[in-house]
Structure 1
Amino acid sequence: MTDVETLAALAREIDTTCRLTGTFVLRSGRTADEYFDKYRFEADPRLLDRVAAQLALLVPSRARPLRHRPGRGRSAGARRSRRGAARAPHSD
Structure 2
Amino acid sequence: MSLDKATVARIARLARLEVPDDQLETVAGELGHILAFVEQLNEVNTQGVAPMTAVVEMGLRLRADKVTEGGDPEKVLANAPERAGDYFVVPKVVE
Category of TM-score, reference length = shorter chain: under 0.3
The normalised TM-score by structure 2 is: 0.26
- Structure richer in helix, relative to its length: 1
Greater RCO structure (CA 8 Å; 6+ sep) = 2
- Structure richer in strand, relative to its length: 1
The normalised TM-score by structure 1 is: 0.26
